[in-house]
Amino acid sequence: MSRISSLCVVVVAAMLLPGPGAAEEWQDKAKVRLIDGGMLADGVTRLAGLEILLDPDWKTYWRNPGDSGIPPKMDFSGSDNVAAVTAEWPAPQLSFDGYGWVIGYTEAVIFPLLIEPDEPGAPSNLNLKLDYAVCKDICIPAQAEVAVVLDGAKPRTAEIDFFRRRVPAPIETPTETGGVVSGAVVRQDDKPVLQLVVRFPSDAEDGFALVEGPEDWYLPVPERAGTDAAGNAVFEVPLESVADQAGIAGTTIRVTGVSPDFSFEQALTLD
């Protein structure tokens, strides 16, 4: 889904290979490290965090990077005593860089990681190969290899929990606080357009929505088209770039709504 804008000069960053057991890696404009968050309340699941610290005015990307950029790709296959890793994605920022919309993070972000061990009572050696990118006036694809032993000896749970609280809440139907009230595909100038009606908290005039579909769909950042009679935000997303127009109906998309006080994720099946 990602595209690297032709207007963005791409410079390949050199990869710095850490020694065995290294917990962090310095890049030109960023520092990457894994941190131990201790054990969750179930007594089985371990908490970890992938932290990316950025130089001032530099940014990195969300899982959907927007009009240009590269989303982070995490490979934990080299880990020991790790059966599964679930990455959580804190709500991103939305900015316009003069060429297009950028969806990502500035200054710092921690991606919470939920670790299911093979042997719950033993430490886990979490090893990560990360492909990601940082961007200011230029976009720099980068790689990092970092590792950490998850034994709970020095947990930094509070730092990870700060970003866990920013992870959009999964919902099935809209709540009083927020959610997708309705979604429909309409025709405008004989082209398909997705219209979304999204509820945000009453003071979230700057709330925005993001839409993700199948991997072969490119969906631009939804454009805010106004409000309905109830004060809900109305967004429009052109669907003319979808190759299989006949397959639009019945496809399930994911809508993420972001506002300062409440962010959510909600699945929506198109009619």
d(CA 16, CA 184): 48
Residue 27 reports pLDDT greater than 50: yes
Are 24-164 and 169-269 the same fold in CATH? yes
Residues 6+ apart with CB under 8 A from 263: 91, 166, 167, 168, 169, 178, 256, 257
Q: Where along the chain do its domains lie?
A: 24-164, 169-269
Q: Which residue is it, tokens 């961007």? A: 135
Q: What is the CA radius of gyration of the chain?
A: 20
Q: How far apart are CA 45 and CA 219, in angstroms?
A: 35
- The count of C-alpha atoms lying within 13 angstroms of the C-alpha of 103, restricted to the half-sphere facing its C-beta, is 28
Tokens describing residue 72:
């982070």
Q: Output the pLDDT for position 94.
A: 96
pLDDT higher than 90, residue 16 = no
Integer Cα distance of 234 and 194 in angstroms: 10
Alpha helices in the chain, H assignment, sequence order: 157-164
pLDDT in tens, 108-157: 999 999 999 999 989 999 999 999 999 988 888 999 999 999 998 889 99
| Phi/psi of residue 5, nearest 5 degrees | -60, 140
Provide the token pair at 68: 């240009």
**pTM confidence score:** 0.88
Question: Is the confidence at residue 21, as pLDDT, over 60?
Answer: no
pLDDT of residue 5: 34
Q: Using one digit for the tens of pLDDT, what is the confidence trace for 55-76? A: 999 999 999 999 888 999 999 9
pLDDT mean across residues, the chain? 88
Q: Are 196 and 234 in contact (CB under 8 A)?
A: yes
Query: Nearest 5°: phi and psi at 40?
Result: -80, 175
The pair of three-digit structure tokens given for residue 229, joined into one six-digit string: 């009679």
Q: So what's the pLDDT on residue 24? A: 65
Q: Which helix (H) or strand (E) holds 123?
A: none
Fold classification of 24-164 is Immunoglobulin-like (2.60.40)
Q: Which residues pair with 265 in a beta bridge?
A: 170, 256
pLDDT tens digit sequence for 153-205:
889 999 999 999 999 999 999 999 999 999 999 999 999 999 999 999 976 67
Closest residue by Cα to residue 183 from 106, 129, 237, 105:
237
Question: 169-269, what's its fold?
Answer: Immunoglobulin-like (2.60.40)
